[in-house]
Amino acid sequence: MLFNSLQFAVFLPVVFAVYWLLRRSLRWQNLFVLAASYLFYGWWDWRFLLLIAFTSACSYLSGIAIAASEGRRRRVLMWLNIGVNLLILGLFKYYDFFVQSFADLFLGGHADGLLLHLVLPVGISFYTFQALSYSIDVYRRTIQPTRNAVAFFAYVAFFPQLVAGPIERASSLLPQFEQPRTFDRPQAVDGLRQMLWGFFKKLIIADGCAVYVDAIYADPAAYGGGALIAAAVLFSFQIYGDFSGYSDIAIGTAKLFGINLRRNFNVPYFSRDIAEFWRRWHISLTSWFRDYVYIPLGGSLVPRARVILNTLVIFLLSGFWHGANWTFLAWGFFHALLFMPLILTGRNRRFRDTVAEGRPLPSLPDVLRMLFTFALVTLGWVFFRSPSISFAFNYIASFLHSGPSPMPWGGHHLILLPALGLMLLVEWVNRGREHGLSRLPHSRGLRWLSYMLLIFIIVAFMQTAEMPFIYFQF
């Protein structure tokens, strides 16, 4: 079920009403959340409910078994659960990729009899990582295992963040399902505001950019360098509006149910270097790799050669997590190259504050740093968006080609470009806050005028066709 669908517009208010009617019974409330989450996920393909239920059961039972064990047995149980979960993820997401790559190298590309052609379950990378973090934390004794199966299954499958994050930790989300929740009107109102801002970024910014990005990437040879650069820039805003918009809708929806999810984006395009960008982009995934891979490998507290290797491993894994294509590995490798000088010179923690904090405008050096970082990130997104590495290199090489073809605007840019300006302005004003609509005019009339303006823009200018979220494929 898509957030930007008629089905969700019916689903959400019904679930909200029944959920709070059940507030006197925590168990029934959690059972209802679990049932609603499975309905939400099964709307796409009910068969994959068995997969998420199996993943949840493995991690739930392994948590209890790990906590009751000591020494080698404890370690074996943890790795057994990790192995089972990664085997499922690898089978559905990476098996055909590796088989086809092997066939291309050694069998002349003939792999038809070996390929499984499995449908990739929506959100499998997200809920698998969420389940894995639980068993690892139990093994580390940073959390105690739960015996509340309903609460645990609801933690893994909670519908707002099920298919595209944020990737939650059991230490934060699971206790919220194990204790009674009361309706908090200010929290719910803030959630609605955050959802509105998320829908604006998805339906106007992301979907609006997609019209031009898809057209130019479909036939880049037909366009000049200026149009190709413009499409690359628009894709930067498309993927940000799409993914951060989803996160805003997910976090805002959770607030309606008295649940707090972690922030996943923190105005990443206002970053002053690549290290700051990665502290602000897809925060839940970045911190997951940091805590469960980078630090166990030794982090930066090892000889320099190991630091280089650890950094490279993290970025390659991050790229490969996104999909079974060499372009994602190339994207990860590109960011590793950008990040390496910062971590080796100890400058990777240079910008940990909010840019221009306490000032309405940034300094000229900060402006130049932000523009340069944005340009590097945009260059990386070309690999992310391209169907192949050769396509990406040809696309980038064509930047210098000056052709007669203009952008295929078609009139939609008359709302898209002002909307992009509005998004950047609103997020700049609220750059130190949780989301774009965290701070609004004190006047009630002006606040409602702001809401009505955004709703009007969404209703009047959204694309007529439902466009799925980009990160659903991951």
Catalytic machinery residues: 322
Residue labelled with tokens 């100890």: 346
Range 432-435 contact pairs with CB under 8 angstroms and sequence separation of 24 or more: 432/354, 432/357, 434/194, 434/263, 435/193, 435/194, 435/197, 435/248, 435/251, 435/252
Taking alpha carbons only, the member of 436, 326, 344 closest to residue 104 is 326
H/E element, 462: none
Residue labelled with tokens 């499995």: 118
Give residue 323's Cα distance to chain centre.
Answer: 13
Provide the 8-state DSSP code for 145: P
How big is the chain, counted in residues?
Answer: 474
Q: Please give the structure tokens belonging to residue 424.
A: 């950047």
Taking alpha carbons only, the member of 22, 2, 24 closest to residue 14 is 22
| Contacting residues for 69 by C-beta, under 8 A, at least 6 apart | 77
Taking alpha carbons only, the member of 410, 402, 378, 409 closest to residue 226 is 402
Q: Give the side-chain half-sphere CA count within 13 A for 60.
A: 19
CA-to-CA distance for 79 and 402, rounded, in angstroms? Answer: 55
CA-to-CA distance for 161 and 163, rounded, in angstroms? Answer: 6
